[in-house]
C-alpha cells in the first residue's frame, strides 16, 4: 500500500482484505463506519431481525443482505464473502474456524446482518479530548455479560452484553452527551458506575475482550454492545453461523457522521 | 362511557372496542400513540420486517407480535384480535371484509406489525398553532402514490406513499423542525412543494383518503406514510393479510412523547 490505512477509501480497504490481508481494522478508512457481521441461515433470519427490533440498543442493524445477496449499498462493488479481513465460523454454536474468506462455507440461503459498532462513537469521544483506556493500553475493549435479559424473539434470547470504558468524573456528562448523538450505534450508556448493579462481579475478568487498568478516580461507564445478538444466536446453537473475527470489522461506505443526530 | 374518549386510558379505550364499539379513533386517549396494523402469515414476515428496515421513514415499526402472540407491551392485557375498532381482511391482495374482530380469520401463523402513525406528530403541530387542513375540514388526510420506489425486500416492492398537509409559508420551517423530532413516526417531510416532483399530477385526486381544500398561499408538504408497507404487501398478493380499517387505529400504551427526540 502506498497510502496509509487511515487514508484509504472503504472500497480500497476492502480490496486489500479481498486480496488476503488479515489485520484488525482499527484506524482504517478514518471517518467511515466499521461494522459487526452476523450471518445466519434464512430460517433463523426472522428471529434475528425481530431480536434486533426488540433490542435496538445492543443490536443496531445498519443493513441486511438477504439470502442470495452478496453485496449491497454499504459495500458498493464489494463481496461480503471476501471483504472482511478475517471471519469466524460457528457450527452448533461452537467456533470451528477463522478463515480469511467464506467461499468454502458459503450457501445461497445465508442472510447477512451488518450491525453498528462502537468504533463510530469512539472517534468523537477522542476528538472531544476524552481518553479511551483500551485504545491507550493497546487492547480490545472489555465486554461483560450482565444480569439484564434482552427481550426474547422466537428462538433467540440471552443477556445484555455491555462494553466498558472508564471515564473521568468531570467528563461523564460529556461522554453521555456525545454518544447519545449516535443512537444507531448503541447510543447513550445503559449504566454509569456500580458494576454490581449489572451483576458484574469483577471488572478485571471480562467475558469478552481484554481487561483494562482503570485510572484512579475514573468510574466505569457501560454501553450496550454488538456482541449481544451474536451471543443470543450462539445460545440457540444454529447448525451454521458466521461472523467477523474480533476487531476485524467490515469497513462500510457509510460515514460515521451519517449516524449522528443533531 | 362516563368518561370522554380523550380522557380514557389506552386500556379503557381498547376495552370499549373489544366490546364491539366501531368508531374512528381520532381524539381518543389523548397523548397516547395510535398505530397502524399489518398482519401477515409467518412465511411473509421476514420480507415485511426487512422492507421496514430498508424503508424506515414510511415503515416505522413500533412493535411486533410474533406468530402465536396476541398481546404485547404496547397493548398490555389486550388482544390484537379484538382491540381495534374495525379491521380490514385482504385475500390475494383484495379487500374482502371489514369485521370488528378477527376471530373468524385468525390463525396461529399470523405475525402482527404495529407501525407508527402520523397522528403522533399532528398533536405537537396543533399545539404549536399550525392548523391541519384535513382535521379542520373533517376528512381523512390525503395520500398519494409517488414516482419514488421503495428499496425492495424479498417479494415486497412498491412506490413510496406520502401524506400531504398544506402549510403556510411562514410555518413550513416550524413544521419541519417539529416533525423531525419524531423520527420513529415518519419524521421530517420527504418533499416540500412541487407535487410534480413526486409524480403527483393532481392534488385534488388522492390515491387514498380524501382531498382537502388548500388555503390560498399555502404550499403542500409531504410526509412518508404508513400506507406504504401495506401497499407493498398487497402488490405481492398474499393469500391472507389483515389491517386496520382507515382511521380505526390500535391505541397503544406508548405515549406520543416516548417517540420524541430532544
Interface of B with A in 71-100 (CB under 8 A): none
- Say yes or no for a CB contact (<8 Å) between B64 and A54: yes
Using CB atoms, pick whichever of A53, A63, A261 lies closest to residue B61: A53
On chain A, the residues whose CB falls within 8 A of the CB of B112 are none
* Residue of B38, B223, B246 lying closest to B122 (CA atoms): B223
**Chain A contact for B54, CB < 8 A?**
yes
Contacts of A100 (CB under 8 A, 6+ apart): A17, A20, A22, A85, A86, A87
On chain A, the residues whose CB falls within 8 A of the CB of B54 are 64
Whose grid coordinates read 455491555?
Answer: A162
DSSP-assigned states of every residue in chain A: --S-GGGS-HHHHHHHHHTT-----TTSSTTEEEEEEEEEEHHHHHHHHHHHHH-TTT--EEEEE-TT----GGGTT--TTTSSS-EEEEETTEEEE--S--TTT--TTEEEEEEE-THHHHHHHHHTT---HHHHTTSPPPEEEEEEEPPPBTTB--EEEEEEEEE-GGGHHHHHHHHHT-GGGT-S-SEES-GGGGT---TTS-SBS---PPPTT-EEEEEE-THHHHHHHHHT--S-EEEEPTT--EEEEEEGGGG---
Indicate if B45 and B137 belong to the same structural domain.
no
- Say yes or no for a CB contact (<8 Å) between B64 and A50: yes
Average pLDDT of chain B to the nearest whole number: 93
Which of A41, A45, A53 has the highest number of chain B CBs within 10 A, making it the mutation to test binding with B? Answer: A53
Indicate if B30 and B112 belong to the same structural domain.
yes
CATH number for the domain that contains residue B246: 3.40.1640.10
Indicate if B197 and B162 belong to the same structural domain.
yes
Task: Give the residue on B whose Cα is nearest the Cα of A112.
Answer: B50
Q: Give the pLDDT score at B221.
A: 97
With a cut of 50, list the residues of chain A below it in pLDDT: none
Provide the number of structural domains found in chain A.
2
Other Cβ atoms less than 10 A from the Cβ of B129: the count is 8
Residue A202 lies in a domain: yes
Indicate if A82 and A177 belong to the same structural domain.
no
Instruction: Name the residue range of residue A131's domain.
Output: 119-228
Using CB atoms, pick whichever of A46, A54, A61 lies closest to residue B46: A46
More confident residue, B140 or A252: A252
Q: Is the pLDDT of residue B1 over 60?
A: no
Q: Is the pLDDT of residue B113 over 70?
A: yes
**Chain A contact for B18, CB < 8 A?**
no
**Chain B contact for A154, CB < 8 A?**
yes
Q: Kindly report, residue by residue over B38-87, the tens digit of the pLDDT.
A: 999 999 999 999 999 999 999 999 999 999 899 999 999 999 999 999 99
CATH number for the domain that contains residue A189: 3.30.2040.10
For residues A187 and A57, the answer to whether their CB atoms sit within 8 Å is yes
Indicate if A182 and A241 belong to the same structural domain.
no
Using CB atoms, pick whichever of A42, A49, A183 lies closest to residue B53: A49
Indicate if B167 and B254 belong to the same structural domain.
no
Indicate if B128 and B197 belong to the same structural domain.
yes
On chain B, the residues whose CB falls within 8 A of the CB of A46 are 42, 45-46, 49
Q: Give the pLDDT score at A183.
A: 84
Indicate if B190 and B61 belong to the same structural domain.
no
Say if the ipTM goes beyond 0.85.
Answer: no
Using CB atoms, pick whichever of B42, B64, B153 lies closest to residue A53: B64
Which of A46, A152, A177 has the highest number of chain B CBs within 10 A, making it the mutation to test binding with B? Answer: A46
Contacts of B7 (CB under 8 A, 6+ apart): B30
Task: Give the residue on A whose Cα is nearest the Cα of B154.
Answer: A66
Indicate if B211 and B183 belong to the same structural domain.
yes
Residue A262 lies in a domain: no
CA distance B46 to chain A (A): 5
Indicate if A51 and A23 belong to the same structural domain.
yes
The CA angle A15-A242-A21, to the nearest 5 degrees, is 25
Indicate if B56 and B68 belong to the same structural domain.
yes
Indicate if A124 and A196 belong to the same structural domain.
yes
CA distance B104 to chain A (A): 26
Q: Give the pLDDT score at A259.
A: 87
Residue A242 lies in a domain: yes
DSSP-assigned states of every residue in chain B: --S-GGGS-HHHHHHHHHTT-----TTSSTTEEEEEEEEEEHHHHHHHHHHHHH-TTT--EEEEE-TT----GGGTT--TTTSSS-EEEEETTEEEE--S--TTT--TTEEEEEEE-THHHHHHHHHTT---HHHHTTSPPPEEEEEEEPPPBTTB--EEEEEEEEE-GGGHHHHHHHHHT-GGGT-S-SEES-GGGGT---TTS-SBS---PPPTT-EEEEEE-THHHHHHHHHT--S-EEEEPTT--EEEEEEGGGG---
Share of residues in chain B with pLDDT > 70 (%) = 99
- Say yes or no for a CB contact (<8 Å) between A54 and B46: no
**Chain A contact for B154, CB < 8 A?**
yes
**Chain A contact for B42, CB < 8 A?**
yes
Residue A100 lies in a domain: yes
Count of pairs with CB atoms under 8 A, one residue in A, one in B: 31
**Chain A contact for B46, CB < 8 A?**
yes
Amino acid at each position: 500500500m502506498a497510502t496509509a490505512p487511515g487514508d484509504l477509501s472503504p472500497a480500497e480497504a476492502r480490496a486489500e482484505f479481498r486480496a488476503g490481508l488479515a489485520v484488525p481494522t482499527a484506524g482504517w478508512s478514518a471517518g467511515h463506519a466499521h461494522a459487526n457481521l452476523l450471518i445466519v441461515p434464512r430460517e433463523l433470519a426472522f428471529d434475528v431481525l425481530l431480536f434486533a427490533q426488540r433490542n435496538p440498543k445492543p443490536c443496531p442493524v445498519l443493513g441486511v443482505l438477504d439470502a442470495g445477496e452478496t453485496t449491497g449499498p454499504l459495500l458498493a462493488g464489494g463481496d461480503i464473502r471476501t471483504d472482511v479481513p478475517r471471519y469466524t465460523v460457528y457450527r452448533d454454536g461452537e467456533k470451528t474456524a477463522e478463515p480469511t474468506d467464506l467461499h468454502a462455507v458459503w450457501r445461497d440461503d445465508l442472510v447477512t446482518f451488518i450491525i453498528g459498532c462502537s468504533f463510530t462513537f469512539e472517534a468523537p469521544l477522542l476528538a472531544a479530548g476524552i481518553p479511551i483506556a483500551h485504545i491507550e493500553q493497546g487492547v480490545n475493549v472489555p465486554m461483560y455479560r450482565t444480569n439484564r435479559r434482552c427481550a426474547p424473539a422466537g428462538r433467540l434470547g440471552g443477556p445484555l452484553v455491555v462494553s466498558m470504558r472508564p471515564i473521568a468524573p468531570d467528563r461523564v456528562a460529556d461522554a453521555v452527551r456525545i454518544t447519545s448523538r449516535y443512537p444507531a450505534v448503541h447510543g447513550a450508556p445503559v449504566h454509569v458506575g456500580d458494576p454490581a448493579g449489572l451483576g458484574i462481579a469483577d471488572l478485571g475478568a471480562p467475558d469478552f475482550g481484554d481487561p483494562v487498568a482503570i485510572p484512579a478516580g475514573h468510574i466505569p461507564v457501560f454501553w450496550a454492545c454488538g456482541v449481544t445478538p451474536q451471543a443470543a444466536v450462539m445460545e440457540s446453537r444454529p447448525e451454521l453461523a458466521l461472523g467477523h473475527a474480533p476487531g476485524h470489522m467490515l469497513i462500510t461506505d457509510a460515514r460515521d457522521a451519517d449516524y449522528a443526530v443533531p
